Every structure is written in C-alpha cells, then in structure tokens.
Structure 1
C-alpha cells in the first residue's frame, strides 16, 4: 500500500473515523475544524498545508494509543505535530489526515541527579528542558534557534542537530530511551536510563530521525551532561579556507576543553546580516575571507581562559588568524552568537529565499561551497548568496535569493545545489530531515538498496502507510 492509497478515504469513511474518535476520547481531546478554526497547521518550511479533518490533543500515552488504534481500524492517516518549527514540511498535511498534536503532553516527569538523566513528555519545549537541566546543575547540550518553540518529540523525530554537535553529537546521542506508539496502537519502549543496553534491535534509534513515519514518540529519557564551569568564545577572521580547517584541527588538538562550537561564516553572509540588522555589531574591523565563531567549554575556569587566549595568540602569530575578538563577558559572547543566529530574521529580509541544509566530508566543504556559489552566480549573477555552517560536522547552509525571479526558479536553484551535492557524495539533508520537501532528491544520497530497506521497515511497522503519509518515503 502506498501513502496515496492510505489517504484515499471517502468523506463518509472519514466522518465515521472522526465520530469513533470523538465517541471514545471526548470532545476535549478530539476537536472538529470549526472548534480549532484559525489554528496554525503549517510548519516553517513554507510548504502547502491542508486543514486536518480533526485535531487530536491527547494528554497521555494511553490516549495516543487509543487514537492510533481507532485510526488504524478506520484507515485514517495521521500527521504528528510538535512545535511546527520544521523546515522540510514534515508536519504539514496533504489533506484527509488527522493532526495529532502532543502540545498537552508537556512536562518534566523526573530528574535523576545520580544517573544524570531526565524523563520528559514529548511535547515539552526544548528550552524548558535546558532550563530545568541548568537548575539541576547539568547541561542539556542540544541547542537550536527555535529552542523556545520546538519540542523534544520533534527534536527526536528529526534527529535535530544544532550548534554543539561537534562536541556532544546530534539528538540521537542525547536520548537513552524513548517510548512510542506504533500505527496499530501498540506501545513500545519505556524509561530505561542506561547508557549500555545491548538487547537486540535498537528500536529507539530506529524511531529517532524517522520523522513520524514509524511511530509517535510520547516520552523520552534524556542524557544530561556536566555543566561547563567555563565557556570561552572568540569571533575570528581568517585569510583562506585552509586556515579555517587548520584552526579547527588545532583547536581540537590543543585546547584543554576541546571545541564545543565551530561556526563558519562566509563574508557574504557576515556582511549581509550585519548591514541589515542594526542591533548586530561586527566584532572585527575590516573584511575577512572567512569568519569563525569558536567556543570551548570546560570545567577549569582559570586554566581554560589562559589556555584559550594563549591559543588565539599562537594562531595570530602563525598567520592562521588575521584577527580575533575574545568575549570578555557573557554579553559579548551573546553578541557574537547573535550574528550566527541571524537566520531567524530571514523572513523579514528575504522572504522568497531558497534554502539548503547539506553536508559533506569536512575536507570537501570549502570546495563544495566554492562550486555551488560559482554555479549559482553563473545563472543568477545578481542573486544574494549566503553561506555559513557548522564546519565541525560538515554541515553547510546555503541561502539564495533574487527579488524578481519567477516561482519556477526555486526548482532550478535546487537542481544546481543538489546536483553538486550528489556529485561530491554529500548529503541532501544534514539536520533538517526529508519531509516532503526533499523527497525528489533523496536518491542523490541514498542508494536503491537503502531505499528498499527503508520501505521494508516502513511496511513492517506501518503496513497501511497511515503515519505521516507522503513524507520521507513514497
């Protein structure tokens, strides 16, 4: 069965399914369209989004299981929604589906300070988890610009990345266990808090990153980390890409606390955001070929500050750095990060942008960016092209915008960037997922055998293709 078949219910069958849900769970859990009129349904991807046939707002895993069992019996497709901050249309509806929001399954159930774990419901915002971890004397390292809106369930479903992947890994590395509801209403997983749990197939990691197509994540046991007692931050100007990779390798080898963030900005991006956002102040004088936001976090404040400053001095003497500004206060560091977090303001400045989230081997990132920019500039010489990324994990973000281009230009722009990504054996999605936006280019990164294995897993866990149809696989 395909996703199209799963969503082809008649209006009468759809009405019967909604009526059964409403009878079993009540009108406070299952809302009809007139009862949630005006509610936002689309995510941040700007993909088309239909209105759901009904909105489910469960308060417990048992209610989620009941909802899924009824939908399975009636063959009603379901789209799970978190904070609606995704960028690939993963939470958007194609039509004829139930929207399943976990917004009321929100809260921290427990914190184990001995084991360094936190058990949370899937609808809990990321920032709530960060604040609670900090209050308990720990760090929850995942960090995204959408921290106030995105939810833990969505972070897990998309295997979110963010700014600290270089040191702590992606969301997959932050979860020790997850509880989830499968398409037929079965509940799997639980609340194990062990780092070592080698008991057969890892269902946790199977569901993490599956974008709601294999199950509905309802609860997670998160791994907390020791809270850094010292954070050193510098904003650096570099002469060429070789200097960027040299700085990364030297920082990882020489800084006592290692590298917790290594954000690279091409000059087009740096100049664009600092010139259009008056609240941003360029930390360095003059113009540089590359800019790097370097952060190191550790447990020894006195030794780290001295070592970090000495390291920057050595790189200046060796010519790896042209210039560097060291954050003397937390407000300085926040000002540096504000430059890197400026993409949150894109809707104000470049609403018609075409954006990319791709990745390459670290050694290939510089060439990939050069090739993409040259190819784009050849076709659209007046376009604004912004390039930046998390170099420590090979993640490159490219944003392209030309005010007067036709709607059809987006497809042509994508063909350029994704074509080069495929040629260089990169990934068409580093951290944003596939959703529906990247379906057509998934084959540039995954082989036919990969896709066949993925479809086999989908059919095993969701044979009716009811969960998030039209996403990741078709």
Structure 2
C-alpha cells in the first residue's frame, strides 16, 4: 500500500478510503464510462475529516482531484492514476433551513434536487436549476459557478451563495458561513472559491439564498421565423410579464429536429420552423399571471412575431415540453460528439451560429453543429457531430472558439474551464488577468496539489 494511502486509511478508517477494484468499478464521469483511475478515493464524513485528509496529502505532496456529482462537461473531475480523489458524496446533509431569513445551510455533497425538494417543503424555492439536478451537487455548483435555466431571473450560483466553508491545500479550514445578504466587512473571501473549480480550496459547506415558492407557473413552446423575432419576443416577454419571466430557452431547428427524431421525443409541433422557444413565467398571482401570459401569446401570434404555439394543459404536458429541451441523450447515442458551452452578446448570436455552422460543414461536409441554449443570458450550447470517427477535436475547437475573440465572447458560459478548455482560456482572459490568477493559485496552493492541471497551470 502506498504510504499516503496508508496514512489516510489510518487516520480516517478503511471505510473512508477506497482502493483497487473499488476505484475501478466507478465510471470516470457521467460522460465517460471508462473505469476511474486514481491512487484512492477518500470519502470524508465532515469538514474535520477532510481537513485531516488534506493535511496528510500536503505532508506527502500528494495531488488531489475533487469530485461531486461528476456531471461536469470540461473533464475537471476526471482523475489520473497519480491523484487521490476527494469525494464529497458522504457530506450530504441539509443542516438547516431558515424560513424567516430564507436561507439554507447544506453540506457540499447535497444534490441540487434534494435541496430544491427540501426548500419546497417549506414553501421556498432554491432557484438554481439545470438538467443534471438529480446528480450534480451543491459543492460542484459552487465550484463551477453553475448557471442553468433560471439565470435570467435569479442569476448564477454566485448570486445565490451568502457564505461558505472550504478546506485549503494544507488542511486549513476557511469558514465564512455568512447568512446575511449585506456584509461589507472586508474582503468577501467566499468569492475566492466560487467558480474556481476546486483549484484554490475544497468547498465543504454552503449558505444559500432561498426565494418564495411561486404559486403560478405558465409555460409555452412557440415557433419563430427568424432570430430577430426571437430577440424581439424576449424583449416583449420581459416587458409584458411584469418581471415573472424565469426561463427563455431557444432551440435552433437542427436541435429540435434531432431531439424529435425516431427514438427521441414526440414533436409537440411541426418540425419545419427555424427557431423554437420554450418560455416560462412564475409568479405569485395565478389569475393575473395567467392573463398576462395568455395576452402575450395572443398579441405575438396576431402580429406574426410567433408562428405557432403549444400551451401545456397539465403538469405532465409541461414536463413533456421541457424534456425536449433537457433530455438530449437520443441525439448523442452512437455519434461522436464534442460538447460546447459559450457566451456572447445576444446581438451577435445569429451571425456567430451561422459562421460556426459554415466552419463545421467546410471541415466535415456530413457533420452538423446542433445549437440551443438559454440565450437570454447570452449562453449558447453546441453539439458538434463531425460524423467522422477520427475527427480532430482541436479542429472542432477552432471552429467554435475561433470567432469568439473578435466579438468579446467567452469559451465558457457556465461549464467552467476544467482540462478541456485550459488551452483556450487566453481567448477570454487577458495576460494581466491570467497573471493574477496564477498569483492567487500560488498564494493558496504553492505546491499545486488542488486539482492540478485544471483551469490554469502554475
């Protein structure tokens, strides 16, 4: 047994340290079924155990890889055979829900869906929402500054975190478990951990903001003839729905047709429209909210802003519409696919999408660039399917990322940098920013033990 693994086992107990076949039987990630590679998997039960584990790893100069739900899309949680995995899977308690202050205190291993459901029991809403809700964890959401479908109204994960606790590279515990919305007492140290993908510290506990649970929910899928009408509809919905618009998801025709191919979803409306928009508004006055929503649809249909609309008549029908947008496994099955998550000014989005599609088709005539996204927050997702088993990932990256620099876009809207996008970080950050990132990394983790090779190299 490796010396560091022996020390970890002696300190935490055999049940907390997995080795050998117990490691290999786990999949690398949601996206990669290959066996996990690592020296060991350490599963602390609380912050104290994690602090002890990190102190041991620091003593042995042992690199670690932090894992939550392993649903990330940038390979940030994919470990190597020389790393020790720190899994937060057993730190999964919801410690408190303050119904007066509208906060929840949770451990990092709590899944997003578990927190949503616990908040709902108190007629409160944890507003972050994304398709991986059943598997992704709050710690991972913090580490990647997760976004999802409600960013338009509630903001990114950063906007929902009031305080947090983290363990640093040497085992030091940084506790900043603030519960107040306002706290300007010096540096806001939690910001050092949010969105830094576990490279500066391992988040262990979090205080998050909750909101009143909406009592109304109105949704529709509509079709638009061009992207100008999509953006005009967005402006109208934001203006006319009285601040209740919570989601505005756009699917290009090639996404919608791929999602509704045989073996996929039943198409809620015909498949020939150029754009499909799934919009949802949530409020606190069911009667008035429904009237506003219906009036918006009537007026936009009458004016030709939208060409068709499907309005669900039950929760089952509403979820069926969302399944078209969120459940895309069928279009990925059996096809080589490169996943992308970019952000850019909305005004540039149509031209950018056309340019990327042209680049992909020039490289792979039979390939396709499938496009969809949150759009209202500038976030576009792409699935590049080159239809060639030996397709070059770098060539695909160049096609997708190449046009972003000129328009001030970002290579990552919400998925983070991880390993896959590290070479492109300079496309979205200037040299001064990169130098300061290295300074922070060197100050907090001079031995480069926390998620080495992710985000930025020392």
Q: TM-score, normalised by structure 1?
A: 0.93
Q: How does 1:217-366 map to 2 (within 5 A)?
A: 217-278=203-264, 280-285=265-270, 287-350=272-335, 352-366=336-350
Which blocks of at least 5 consecutive residues in structure 1 are unaligned? 1-13
Residue of structure 2 aligned with 1:30, choices 17, 23, 35: 17
Counterpart of 2:444 in structure 1 is 461
Counterpart of 2:192 in structure 1 is 206
Superposition deviation, residue 454 in structure 1: 0.3
* Residues 38, 54 of structure 1: alpha-carbon distance in 2 compared, 3 angstrom cutoff: closer
Q: Distance in 2 between matches of 1:132 and 1:21?
A: 34
Q: Distance in 2 between matches of 1:40 and 1:440?
A: 28
Please state whether the residue corresponding to 2:245 is helix, strand or coil.
coil
Q: Distance in 1 between matches of 2:279 and 2:177?
A: 36
Q: Distance in 2 between matches of 1:336 and 1:28?
A: 43
* 2:412 is the alignment partner of 1:429: yes
Query: Can you list the C-alpha shifts for 1:180-214, whole angstroms capped at 9, x where unaligned?
Result: 00001111124321011112221112201111100
Q: Distance in 2 between matches of 1:128 and 1:421?
A: 37
Residue of structure 2 aligned with 1:141, choices 100, 124, 127: 127
Counterpart of 2:435 in structure 1 is 452
Q: TM-score, normalised by structure 2?
A: 0.96
Please state whether the residue corresponding to 1:403 is helix, strand or coil.
coil
Query: Can you list the C-alpha shifts for 1:113-165, whole angstroms capped at 9, x where unaligned?
Result: 00011111101111100110111111111111111111111111111111111
Q: Distance in 1 between matches of 2:30 and 2:19?
A: 24
Residue of structure 2 aligned with 1:411, choices 369, 374, 394: 394
Q: Distance in 1 between matches of 2:206 and 2:440?
A: 22
Superposition deviation, residue 74 in structure 1: 1.2
Query: Can you list the C-alpha shifts for 1:398-423, whole angstroms capped at 9, x where unaligned?
Result: 1121333414x222111111111223
Q: Distance in 2 between matches of 1:29 and 1:274?
A: 44
Counterpart of 2:385 in structure 1 is 401
Residue of structure 2 aligned with 1:62, choices 44, 48, 52: 48
Task: Figure out how many residues of one structure are paired with residues of the other and give that number.
Answer: 457
After superposing the two structures, state which structure 1 stretch, 280-289 or 243-252, moved more: 280-289
Superposition deviation, residue 346 in structure 1: 4.4
* Residues 372, 415 of structure 1: alpha-carbon distance in 2 compared, 3 angstrom cutoff: same
Which blocks of at least 5 consecutive residues in structure 2 are unaligned? none
Q: Distance in 1 between matches of 2:48 and 2:38?
A: 22
Tell me if structure 1 keeps the 8 A contact 2:220–2:278. Answer: yes
